[in-house]
Chains A and B, each alone.
Chain A
């Protein structure tokens, strides 16, 4: 005998079928990978500041092609090597004075400049406005670095993925190619390219790209070797996914952090390599300027005209730091694993 509990007919309410059809549904809005990343990125104040800075630098550098305080190439020899002078500011370092042979002199007066003449960041050895030169130099450095990095990305990632994924003989062969390229010092490649092509931005960009993609390829390949033994890749393989699909769906997202970090290594190192070439004497040739050539010109006169090194160095460092902080932010945003 069982107790029968009699329930009233209205003890249950029928569900509205149209409303709760899928109880598994996630209530939060559906976000794509990019939206999700952006949401996380926004929370990172440092990254946002860095991104803003980078946008400002890009806008100023590329905007200076249209609006610039002075023509960056206008030579004005009588105003050569004038220190910074800000209208109405009397602090040493911004008032157009300079320590010359032990005593502070007004360089503007000595050059016979009218009181209305002022260069915010001073002038270089040919009397060109340093602020305009820096904006112009930033533009060239960024162009060289970004183009070189794009080539690096496209080429390096594809190469590394393919090599690591295929393994065996193909991998071996591809690694030999990389080894050969990597074992020729970059400078030689650059010198030859500069000779074969005409000296200039193009040859330097190509040379930097040519010598930097190999690092990316090696890293990607090493990581791919590791990833392809992971269970989820094996599972995908077993389920008959095509290699290309696996690469895009499984490998690339997991490689994204390493790609981003490496990219963010590549941009500064491209800027640096260009600067290095300037020091050696085969960089961007004048009257073109890059941050590297400006720095190199500046370091020669550091004892007497420190501003000629400090300002390009500060700009370069800010760009560098901004890239790095932004890269960190991006990495955290892209790679949910390392949310920590």
Chain B
């Protein structure tokens, strides 16, 4: 296990290095510069400013400087925030994003599992139909539409919760709901399918025949085995939430990195784009590593050591 972990972490670093390299050279294709006032500057003045940012050096030198910087936690200076290191920009903004992401993951996955399982257990009854409709609705409304509806009806018309802004738990509720809708629906549908399959399998029949109670069978055998594939979609769900957060943070004026990422893309602030890309990638890789380990633990049929044979 330890050997496996070391190996995986080595691969993780390798992947990270590739991501850094690929994004760096891809970003060099973008026409972004720190010249927010480019329109009014003469070419000579532009050159002076670019020199200050180290952008007049050959690309390979810039690359080496960048890579060396990244391993010291230095992602350069943002083109939008001329005084802020990108590392500070991210560290000061990641809190709200992580909080919303975690809340949305919990609010999406746990009810998703329950609703999906309920649908499978009560297959072909009205319970099943209701849960199916609820989960299908969850994936048929884009998060920004849902966000607008929540904001307008619950925030403005009813005045129950803040419309936007940040500052306390109340402010997180609407964005969390908007963000959680899609992971909820994905999980519910996935669990239902898996559980229906599992409930039809022989070992469930056997367990039933042994005289285990219905809920005992469901809890000990059906649910456990249905959870395995859910683990495989946690990674994609995390990506889903990251992507969704860009839109949701924008609508609810949440001071997170998703909102900043959108702004960076629109303004070609490539030090920020690169850094956020690297941070997102790292978070995702950690999630994937954890899910793989968990996958091995909960499913005895998969042996982790297989991969290093």
Contacts and interface: CB of A to CB of B under 8 A. Distances in A.
Nearest to B201: A337
Nearest to A265: B186
Interface in B219-263: 229, 232-233, 235-236, 239, 242-244, 246-247, 250, 261-262
A273 B265 CA distance: 16
A112 interface: no
A275 B26 contact: no
B123 A340 contact: yes
A268 B189 CA distance: 14
A268 B138 CA distance: 11
Contact of B137 (A187, A275, A317, A335): A317
Interface string A163-194: 00001100110011001101111111001100
A101 interface: no
A19 to B, nearest CB: 39
Interface stretch (A2-10, A127-135, A217-225, A238-246): A217-225
A187 B261 contact: yes
A222 B139 contact: no
A280 B309 CA distance: 45
Contacts of A268: 139-140
Given A185-B243, A309-B148, A272 B200 contact: no
B306 A167 contact: yes
Interface string A12-35: 000000000000000000000000
A273 to B, nearest CB: 8
A164 to B, nearest CB: 11
A120 interface: no
A324 interface: yes
Contacts of B246: 187, 280
B145 A313 contact: yes
B15 A183 contact: yes
B15 A276 contact: no
Interface stretch (A90-98, A150-158, A296-304): A296-304
A325 B266 CA distance: 38
Contact of A179 (B152, B244, B262, B288): B288
A215 B186 CA distance: 13
Interface in A200-218: 215, 218
A309 B23 contact: no
A35 B19 CA distance: 47
A192 B262 CA distance: 14
B140 A280 contact: no
Secondary structure type dominating chain A contacts? helix
A253 interface: no
Interface in B116-144: 123-124, 132, 136-137, 139-144
Interface residues of B, number: 66
A320 B189 CA distance: 14
Interface in A248-270: 257, 261, 265, 268
Interface in A289-320: 292, 295-296, 299, 302-303, 309, 313, 316-317, 320
B309 to A, nearest CB: 5
Contacts of A320: 136, 139-140
A184 B139 contact: no
B302 A226 contact: yes
A184 B277 contact: yes
B301 A302 contact: no
A235 interface: no
Interface in B196-216: 196-197, 199-200
Given A182-B239, A295-B145, A338 B197 contact: yes
18 contacts: A168-B307, A180-B18, A182-B235, A182-B284, A183-B288, A185-B261, A191-B265, A219-B229, A222-B295, A265-B186, A276-B247, A279-B144, A280-B246, A309-B148, A313-B141, A324-B140, A340-B124, A340-B196
Interface of A: 167-168, 171-172, 175-176, 179-180, 182-188, 191-192, 195-196, 215, 218-219, 222-223, 225-226, 229, 257, 261, 265, 268, 272-273, 275-276, 279-282, 292, 295-296, 299, 302-303, 309, 313, 316-317, 320-321, 324-325, 328, 331, 335, 337-340
